[in-house]
């Protein structure tokens, strides 16, 4: 693999990422899957980077999952998106920071639609006005939250308490990155590094001392795919797609999988447990799974945040092998403890070397 070739591609796909004053829109599913990630993002932006980031409790789902599953019509989703923009306009913000990859794709798709078909924009303005009395401006800058962490990766590196170095061997941790499909496969120019060789997560891993693993099925979907998962009888598609990726990355012995999408870490995490139950196979070392982390969690770990405060006990594939390699000390007894010391209960279904 020639690094220079990748650097050329990365230079070809650089995007404008606003540097401050963000209007944050959350994902509707992440808070259940990886409950501390978004909170960690806000903490990093506000406390580490001194940036202004605002969120409005009235914002809703973008309805992207419904749209991609054919139950929400295009006019409806456009109007819902317009309402989010109205909240942003009312709060005086112009830079949208999107937590979810599906939403990021939706916002880009709709803004591009309005550029190509201005009549749609006018129609949506009137629909929103009639329905809610609100008015809106189209955001000046749309960034995915991982773009923002990418932008400040060196600032984070400057404050790091831990490097992505295996403390047991002294070598860089080998990390596989997985980019959500809707990040740049629809609009390559909207993603840092484009669609084939995205740089957004690679940049973080390298800045924080790790080594990136490029494996043959890197570009393949994690398997979420709304139609593949939402209907139970289709879930074999989802599982099989994830499995294809695990099989392909296995020879490289990765220490962790890093994701920037709500769905991908969920499926890459949970399906490892299912595969172990179904086939008895695990993909990590010593019968463990490969820990799957979000970029906010990884940034948090690098900055020395407590993994249990970031909700990392909610991962089905245990993250302890990664914490051990990073040299992070943690109290196993506090894994399922609340801040007040009471236990939250431990999971009934455990897998991947638990």
Partner 1 sequence: MKEFGYTIIKQRTIDYDQFNGRLLNEILLMEPSFKVCLSCGGCTATCSAGDLVNFNIRRMNLLLRRGETAELESEIQKCMLCGKCMLVCPRGINLRNVIMLIKKNISRNKTTKY
Partner 2 sequence: MKHIVIIGGGIAGIETASALTDAGHWVTVIEKDTRVGGKLNNWSYLFPDFTPAEKIAESLLEKCREKDFSILPDTEVKAIIRNQDKFNIHTSGNQNLEADAIVLATGYELFDARRKEEYGYKIYDQVVTSADLEQLLRPGESLTVAAGKNPKRIAFVHCVGSRDEKTGNHYCSKVCCITGVKQAIELKKRLPEAEIFCFYMDLRMYGKHFEELYREAQEKYDIQFIRGRLSEASEKIDKSLLIKAEDTLSGRPLKMNVDLLVLLVGMEAGKGTASAAFSCGVNCEESGFLKSMDSLLRSNISQQEGIFLAGSCTAPMSLNDTLLHARSAAIEVNNYLKKSIK
| Contact residues: partner 1, CB under 8 A | 68, 181, 185-186, 195, 220-221, 225, 227-228, 234, 236-237, 240-241, 244
285 near partner 2, rule: CB under 8 A = no
- Among residues 113, 48, 29, 33, the alpha carbon closest in space to that of 75 is found at 113
Supply φ then ψ for residue 138, to 5 degrees. Answer: -75, 135
- Choice between 4 and 116, CB closer to partner 2: 4
Angstrom distance (rounded) from CA 295 to CA 298: 5
User: Which C-beta is closer to partner 1: that of 36 or that of 105?
Assistant: 105
Residue 149, phi-psi category: left (phi > 0), alpha (psi -120 to 50), beta (remainder): alpha
String of DSSP letters for 12-73: HS------S-EEEE--SSHHHHSTTHHHHHHHIIIIIS---EE--TT-----HHHHHTTSS-
Q: Between 242 and 260, whose beta carbon lies closer to partner 1?
A: 242
Q: Are 56 and 49 in contact (CB under 8 A)?
A: no
d(CA 254, CA 213): 7
Provide the sign of the torsion angle of the four alpha carbons 262, 67, 143, 28, taken in this order: negative
First to last CA, the chain: 36
Bridge partners for 303 per DSSP:
none
Q: From partner 1, partner 2, none, which one binds at residue 11 (CB under 5 to 8 Å depending on kind)? A: none
**Under rule CB under 8 A, how many of the chain's residues touch partner 2?**
19
Min CB(70)–partner 1 separation in Å: 8
Please give the Cα distance from 246 to 217 (Å, whole number).
9
DSSP assignment letter at 216 = T
Q: How far is the CB of 242 from partner 2 (least distance, A)?
A: 17
List the single partner that 225 binds among partner 1, partner 2, none, CB under 5 to 8 Å by kind. partner 1
Question: Cβ of residue 16: shortest distance to partner 1, in angstroms?
Answer: 24
Cα(80)–Cα(94) distance, rounded to whole angstroms? 18
Nearer to partner 1, 41 or 226 (CB): 226
Give alpha helix (H) positions in the chain: 3-12, 30-33, 37-43, 64-68, 74-91, 101-116, 118-132, 145-151, 153-158, 181-184, 200-207, 226-229, 235-249, 263-279, 295-302, 320-326
| C-beta closer to partner 1: residue 237 or 330 | 237
Nearer to partner 2, 8 or 69 (CB): 8
Binding mask 215-234 for partner 2 (x = CB under 8 A): xxxxx---------------
Answer for which of 10, 23, 85, 197 binds partner 2 (CB under 8 A) is 197
206 binds partner 2 (CB under 8 A): no
Contacted entry of partner 2, partner 1, none for residue 120, CB cut-off 5 to 8 Å set by kind? none
Neighbours of 146 (CB within 10 A): 31
CB of 3 to partner 2, least distance (A): 9
Of 3 and 333, which has the nearer Cβ to partner 2?
Answer: 3
Question: Of these partners, partner 2, partner 1, none, which one is at the site of residue 216 (CB under 5 to 8 Å by kind)?
Answer: partner 2
Q: How far is the CB of 225 from partner 1 (least distance, A)?
A: 6
Least distance in angstroms from the C-beta of 4 to partner 1: 25
**Does residue 195 belong to the site contacting partner 2 (CB under 8 A)?**
yes
Which CB atom, from 21 or from 220, has the smaller least distance to partner 1?
220
Task: Give the one entry of partner 1, partner 2, none that residue 2 binds, where binding means its C-beta sits below a cut-off of 5 to 8 angstroms depending on kind.
Answer: partner 2
Residue ranges that bind partner 2, judged by CB under 8 A: 1-2, 4-6, 8-9, 194-197, 214-219, 251-252
């Amino acid at each position: 693999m020639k690094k220079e070739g990748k650097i050329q591609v990365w230079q070809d796909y650089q995007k404008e990422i606003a540097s401050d004053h963000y209007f944050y829109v959350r994902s509707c599913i992440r808070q259940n899957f990886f409950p501390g990630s978004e909170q960690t993002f806000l903490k990093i932006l506000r406390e580490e980077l001194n940036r202004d980031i605002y969120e409005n409790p009235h914002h809703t789902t973008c309805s992207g999952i419904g749209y991609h599953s054919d139950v929400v019509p295009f006019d409806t989703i456009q109007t819902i998106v317009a309402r989010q923009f109205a909240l942003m306009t009312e709060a005086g913000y112009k830079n949208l920071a999107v937590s979810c990859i599906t939403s990021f794709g939706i916002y880009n798709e709709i803004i591009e639609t309005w550029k190509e078909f201005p009549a749609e924009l006018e129609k949506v303005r009137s629909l929103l006005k009639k329905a809610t009395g609100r008015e809106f401006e189209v955001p000046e800058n749309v960034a995915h939250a991982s773009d923002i962490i990418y932008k400040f990766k060196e600032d984070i590196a400057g404050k790091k308490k831990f490097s992505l170095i295996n403390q047991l061997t002294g070598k860089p941790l080998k990390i596989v990155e997985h980019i959500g499909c809707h990040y740049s496969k629809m609009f390559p120019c909207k993603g840092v590094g484009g669609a084939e060789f995205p740089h957004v997560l690679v940049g973080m891993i390298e800045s924080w001392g790790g080594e990136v693993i490029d494996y043959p099925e890197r570009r393949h979907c994690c398997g979420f795919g709304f139609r593949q998962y939402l209907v139970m009888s289709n879930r074999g598609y989802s599982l099989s797609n994830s499995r294809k990726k695990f099989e392909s990355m296995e020879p490289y012995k990765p220490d962790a999988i890093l994701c920037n999408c709500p769905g991908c870490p969920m499926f890459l995490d949970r399906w490892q447990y299912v595969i172990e139950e179904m086939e008895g196979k695990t993909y990590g070392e010593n019968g463990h799974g490969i820990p799957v982390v979000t970029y906010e969690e990884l940034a948090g770990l690098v900055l020395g945040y407590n993994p249990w405060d970031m909700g990392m006990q909610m991962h089905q594939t245990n993250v302890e092998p990664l914490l051990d390699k990073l040299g992070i000390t943690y109290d196993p007894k506090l894994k399922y403890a609340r801040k007040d010391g009471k236990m939250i209960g431990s999971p009934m279904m455990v897998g991947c070397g638990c």
